[in-house]
Amino acid sequence: MQQLASYLSGAWQNGRGRARTIHHAISNEALWEVTSDGLDMAQARRYAIDHGGSALRAMTFVERAAMLKAVAKYLLEHKETFYALSAQTGATRADSWVDIEGGIGTLFTYAGLGARELPDDTLWPEDELIPLSKGGGFAARHVLTSKSGVAVHINAFNFPCWGMLEKLAPTWLAGMPAIVKPATASAQVTQAMVKAIVDSGLVPDGALSLICGGAGSLLDHLDFQDVVTFTGSAQTGQSLRVHPNLVANAVPFTMEADSLNCCVLGDDVTPEQPEFALFIREVVREMTAKAGQKCTAIRRIIVPQTQLQAVSDALVARLQAVRVGDPAQEGVKMGALINHEQRADVQEKVNALIEAGCEVRLGGSADLQAAGAFFPPTLLFCPQPDETPAAHAIEAFGPVATLMAYQRREHALQLARAGQGSLAGTLVTADGALAREFILGAARAHGRIQVLNEESAKESTGHGSPLPQLLHGGPGRAGGGEELGGLRAVKHYLQRTAVQGSPTMLASIGKQWVRGAKVQEDRIHPFRKYFEELQPGDSLLTPRRTMTEADIVNFACLSGDHFYAHMDKIAAAESIFGERVVHGYFVISAAAGLFVDAGVGPVIANYGMENLRFIEPVKPGDTLQVRLTCKRKTTKRQKTAEEKPTGVVEWAVEVFNQHQQAVALYSILTLVARQHGDFTD
């Protein structure tokens, strides 16, 4: 039997010593031996840092985003290889789609976020200038820079592809190399994807390492520049969290643990309403997808006492119709658990719940002598949820959920919180007031809550689907960590530092102009410069324009805005302004008339406006002037060779009056032509 090799220090390596065996979930055939004994973990970490880390840190955020996109496209082209191996884990094609293409989709999402929202630089200014002195000469801002260590990702068996990719995306975007340690039971799927990434040549040498087997002494060699993430059981995660070296060196540790997630049926829903059928469908889908082997799966079904029997009957009927077996056979909707050990563990947990007072409404026992690691859909009922702590603490990590009833709304909230922290919860209701009451009472115990009704169900991604844009994590038993959530996840692998100095110095550090910093003026209008020629701080001070009553009247007639503060002299005199004032939007329009260069040039289009604030009122007779300053630049990557190369330039606009008082502050974005393209197929 062949050994599943690890990829460390830039080479595929076999461990030495006692090995574990990976079995086929359906046939129980022995597939691979797995061991990492004898592999040099200290050297592997150093290699990842010296080679992968240095190369990634030299790339800008935008360049790293382009790398993510290229890797995602490559993996998508080779997806059938991963599907074939995923079938060995007992997963259906639909289960594997979530794992494989869902993971690849996460890479695409982070590639897009990085390209659109992060600077084309190796330093990320996180916020705007923070004034620290009355005169404006001393200020601060927070900046984010890459750590010089390695990210160690310890993943669970249930999503061998998605579990790796959803962590790799923000890790690489932050400029850190990663050492991935998948769970042994499905490590062959992860290894195939790692091999594809390595063979693609799209990532720097050392940016990705793989341990097939135990982590060995790896955690002993980490320091404060490293990061550890863990996905798996709460018990294992807690033991890793207090690893002596992680504690001694304050190594950041993020934990995402299995939890007893709940689905609550609102007391406004009756069997005649569409939400009732949606509730049944959602529970059954979450119980049977991936054979219930999901950290977000519904484990507790909380319903009004008045609907208990109706829900129970509907769930039993729906679950009985789920065909369990080899996913290769037509009509099979649920496959096997990952292996015999997992099947035995699920049976043990179900037995414990029964001993604690739960009753079996469907399923409950597996044929432990069968070759396939199958476990039937199992619905338990807890008659006394308040007096049965086990129903909120014991998780059978399979197609198992426990039904329980609540007497009143506050009781439902108590039961929802009784899981002591979960990754995801769902409330099914058509009542907006009830939804608000539930969020106020239960959100503190959940990382994510879906409110499902007839309207949202048409496009809902479901209770158990973590999305790249949203937080994945939860308090308490769920681990207390955070993953995904858009760019929030990237910051976990960066160091935040408060930097103090003069505005000009802060602008130089961030390569972004900030208000109060020095500007550069020359005889060439900034709109006549190509993207490459523009530099942050390039500025234009415009001629002046005096506002008149005729301007107010003309703009009101043109726009249709006859608000009293502009047009009613008597009412305006009694307002906070004391007299008529110029339309704010005319001030913006007049400012554009002052700073725009009308001729054909590199500036192609107005791309948008941000952070508009009107500071002081403008009255007839006031004279306005504008300062336009290049604030930051972001390169737009070409999608085709024919596409015109461009970049987005953010300009700071300051409109001030004859007293040098700012009357309006905002930013505009323009699409600017580049002189040179960068398209690569």
Task: Indicate which residues carry an active-site annotation.
Answer: 256, 295
Contact residues for 669 (Cβ-Cβ < 8 A; gap 6+)? 606, 607, 608, 609, 610, 648, 649, 650, 651
Which amino acid would we find at residue 345?
Answer: D
Residue 575 CB-density burial (10 A; 0-12 exposed, 13-18 middle, 19+ buried): middle
Strand partners, 507: none
Task: Tell me the two tokens of residue 541.
Answer: 């001070």
Query: What span, in angstroms and rounded, lies between the C-alpha atoms of 630 and 653?
Result: 9
Listed in sequence order, the residues at least 6 apart from 373 whose beta carbon sits closer than 8 Å to its beta carbon are 25, 26, 28, 90, 336, 337, 338, 339, 340, 342, 343
Which among 100, 129, 36, 144 has a CA at the least distance from the CA of 490? 144
- Residue ranges of E strands in 46-186: 124-125, 130-131, 139-146, 151-154, 178-181
CA of 124: how far to CAs of 61, 302, 387, 647, in Å?
A: 8, 45, 52, 18
The DSSP-derived string for 562-589 is --HHHH-HHHHHTSTTSS----HHHHHH
How many CB atoms are closer than 10 A to CB 319? 23
155 vs 335: CA distance, rounded Å: 21
**Start-to-end CA span in the chain (Å):** 41
Structure tokens that stand for 177 in this block: 């190399």
**What whole-number distance in Å separates Cα of residue 409 and Cα of residue 438?**
8
- Axis crossing angle, helix 93-117 with helix 162-174, rounded to the nearest 10: 10
Round to whole Å and give the CA distance between 282 and 461: 11
Cα 498 from Cα 501, distance rounded (Å): 10
SS3 string, 177-213, reads CEEEECCHHHHHHHHHHHHHHHHHCCCCCCCEEECCC
| Dihedral sign (CA 369, 374, 376, 380) | positive
Taking the C-alpha atoms of residue 287 and residue 292, their distance in angstroms, rounded to an integer, is 5
Number of other residues whose CB lies within 10 A of the CB of residue 348? 11
d(CA 496, CA 621): 47
- How far, in Å, CA of 133 to CA of 135, rounded? 6
73: nearest Cα among 104, 106, 102: 104
Cα–Cα distance for residue pair 219/476, rounded to 1 Å = 24
Measured distance CA(620)–CA(88) in Å, rounded: 77
DSSP alpha helix (H) spans, 524-673? 549-559, 564-567, 569-573, 584-595
| Strand 130-131, strand 139-146: pairing | antiparallel
* Token pair listed for 437: 């009451």
